[in-house]
């Protein structure tokens, strides 16, 4: 499910990055600078809004229904929570959306400026004229644009997984029985690990269980503390969340074999 949403939004994000590349090229070709290029991308914020809304609600409904099946004691249409989940997404985006999009566009601008500076430096070292340097800059920017699919995919993967895990949490919180949450890591060569020179280690977190409102906590190799309610938590350091492929799962609590009902549902 997550991969389908990721693929859908990868294409939309890449299209926006490509349009910004064309702006850079046009501005530099016509004016020899980036004076006309706006850093902010309103369209990207709208794509984020749609991506989070779709993914969050999809996974909230899925997790709620999964816990219904596990409990075998309670049936309720998860559609009834859609309005509340929509409100939660909007509130979350109001808090974090600008920050996330600003980070993407800021990093994007930084890479373009690096391309330009390197081309200018190479031109000076080789004694090239302005026309040749400009041509090299435009060619380098085009090449950057031709390979930005991986960047768009990384953005879509990070954000859809973040939204999916938020949705999992929302679905579990709506269920009337108490659950523990468990960190599930993708255990392969790409998993974030301190032995692989990453600052944090998601392999070590795999299988750890917490109360639903208790944070997963880890001290990184540089002494920074990451506290996350679920994988992809926006309040955790970027080095803890970017490209994260982990997910959160839930285990119903039982006492003497019976499910434990949340206090607000007890009569």
Phi, psi of 114 (to 5 degrees): -65, -40
Q: What is the 3-state secondary structure (H, E, C) of the chain?
A: CHHHHHHHHHHHHHHHHHHHHHHHHHHHHHHCCCCCCCCCCHHHHHHHHHHHHHHHHHHHHHHHHHHHHHHCCCCCCHHHHHHHHHHHHHHHHHHHHHHHHHHHHHHHHHHHHHHHHHHHHHHHHHCCCHHHHHHHHHHHHHHHHHCCHHHHHHHHHHHHHHHHHHHHHHHHHHCCECEEEEEECCCCCCCCCHHHCCCCCHHHHCCCEEECCCCEEEECCCCCEEEECCCCCCCCCHHHHCCCCCEEEEEECEECCEECECHHHCC
Average pLDDT score over residue span 64-73: 78
Q: Please state the rounded mean pLDDT for residues 1-6.
A: 91
Residue 216's Cα: distance from chain center in Å?
18
* Residue located via tokens 């693929």: 7
Quote the CA–CA distance of 219 and 226 in Å, as a whole number: 6
Tokens representing 38 are 């706006």
Maximum average pLDDT range among 60-69, 129-138, 187-196, 205-214? 205-214
Q: In the predicted model, is pLDDT for residue 73 greater than 80?
A: no
Give me 117's structure tokens. Answer: 């500076």
| 138-173 b/e (C-beta count within 10 Å ≥ 16 → b) | bebbeebbeebeebbbebbbbbbbbbbbbbbbbbbb
| Contact status, residue 83 vs residue 170, Cβ threshold 8 Å | no
Q: Of 82, 257, 52, whose CA–CA distance to 164 is shortest?
A: 52
Residue 36: what pLDDT? Answer: 64
pLDDT reading at 102 higher than 80? yes
Q: How confident is the model at residue 34 (pLDDT cuts 50, 70, 90)?
A: low
Span 149-166, average pLDDT? 90
Say how far apart CA 183 and CA 200 lie, in whole Å.
Answer: 14
Question: Domain spans of the chain?
Answer: 1-175, 177-267
CA separation (Å) from 96 to 22, 49, 155, 216? 28, 11, 15, 20
**CA dihedral over 203, 204, 209, 213, signed as positive or negative:** negative
> Mean pLDDT throughout 32-60?
84
User: What average pLDDT does the structure give for the chain?
Assistant: 88
Q: How far apart are CA 184 and CA 165, in angstroms?
A: 11
Mean pLDDT of 31-46: 74
């Amino acid at each position: 499910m997550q991969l389908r949403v990721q693929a859908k939004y990868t294409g939309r994000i890449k299209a926006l990055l490509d349009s910004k590349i064309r702006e850079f090229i046009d501005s530099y070709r016509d004016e020899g600078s980036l004076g006309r290029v706006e850093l902010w991308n309103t369209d990207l914020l709208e794509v984020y809004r749609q991506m989070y809304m779709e993914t969050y609600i999809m996974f909230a409904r899925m997790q709620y229904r999964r816990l219904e099946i596990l409990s075998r004691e309670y049936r309720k249409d998860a559609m009834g929570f859609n309005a509340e989940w929509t409100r939660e997404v909007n509130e979350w985006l109001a808090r974090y959306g600008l920050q996330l999009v600003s980070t993407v566009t800021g990093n994007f601008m930084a890479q373009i400026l690096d391309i330009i500076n390197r081309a200018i430096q190479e031109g000076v070292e080789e004694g090239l004229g302005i026309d040749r340097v400009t041509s090299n800059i435009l060619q380098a920017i085009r090449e950057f644009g031709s390979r930005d699919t991986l960047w768009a995919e990384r953005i879509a993967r990070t954000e859809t997984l973040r939204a999916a895990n938020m949705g999992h949490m929302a679905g579990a919180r709506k269920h009337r029985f108490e659950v523990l949450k468990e960190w599930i890591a993708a255990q392969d060569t790409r998993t974030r690990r301190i032995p692989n020179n990453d600052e944090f280690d998601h392999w070590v977190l795999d299988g750890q269980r917490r109360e639903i409102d208790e944070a997963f906590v880890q001290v990184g190799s540089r002494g920074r503390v990451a506290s996350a309610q679920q994988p992809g938590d926006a309040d955790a350091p970027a080095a803890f969340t970017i490209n994260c492929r982990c997910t959160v799962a839930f285990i119903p609590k039982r006492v003497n074999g019976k499910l434990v009902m949340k206090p607000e549902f007890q009569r």
